[in-house]
Structures are given as structure tokens and as C-alpha cells.
Amino acid sequence: MHLTEKAITENFDLLFYLEGRNAAGEPIWCYVTVAPDEVETFLEQSALPGFRPGQYATIVVSGTGEPTDEEKDRLEDELGLERGVL
């Protein structure tokens, strides 16, 4: 079963990690959750210039540079993920 189908069947959102640059040219990142029935739209929109993740997903955590190990550990704990997944 495809992960999106499994997410619909079991009713859970999918987690994505995104990287990019802000208007000042600084590296930025975020983890977002997307409802399974919105994944196709999210992926289509993410490929377009000027994509703003918050319009198509729920931003869980974000920052500049790269996420620290502490941020990853906290997110894994909050979402009940296995250690080292992020």
C-alpha cells in the first residue's frame, strides 16, 4: 500500500522537511504536516516559484540555517517518532 493511501486509511498526516531561502537569501528550513488528501496539491504547489508552505500545510517548526539535533530530538519526541528518523 502506498504511504498516502495508508495515511488516508489510518487517518494520519504526512511529515515533510523543506529547505529554501528567505527574501534576504538566508537558508531556511521547516517541518510541515500535510493531510493525505492535500498531498497532491502540496507537491504541485511546492514546485512553483514563490511557494509559501503555510498556505498548503501546517508548519510544525521552522528556523534559519539547519535544524539542530536538539530540535530534531524534540520533534521526534512530540510526534512519537523513532529516534534518528529526522
Per-residue pLDDT tens over the stretch 37-67? 899 999 999 999 989 999 999 998 899 999 9
- pTM, full prediction: 0.79
What is the predicted pLDDT for the residue at 5? 52
For 3-49, how does the pLDDT look when each residue is reduced to its tens digit (9 = 90+)?
A: 445 444 556 788 899 999 988 999 999 999 999 889 999 999 999 99
Q: Give the pLDDT of residue 65.
A: 94
CA distance 28 to 66: 7
pLDDT higher than threshold 90 for residue 79: no
C-alpha span between 25 and 37 (Å, rounded): 32
Residue 32 and residue 61: Cα distance in Å, rounded?
7
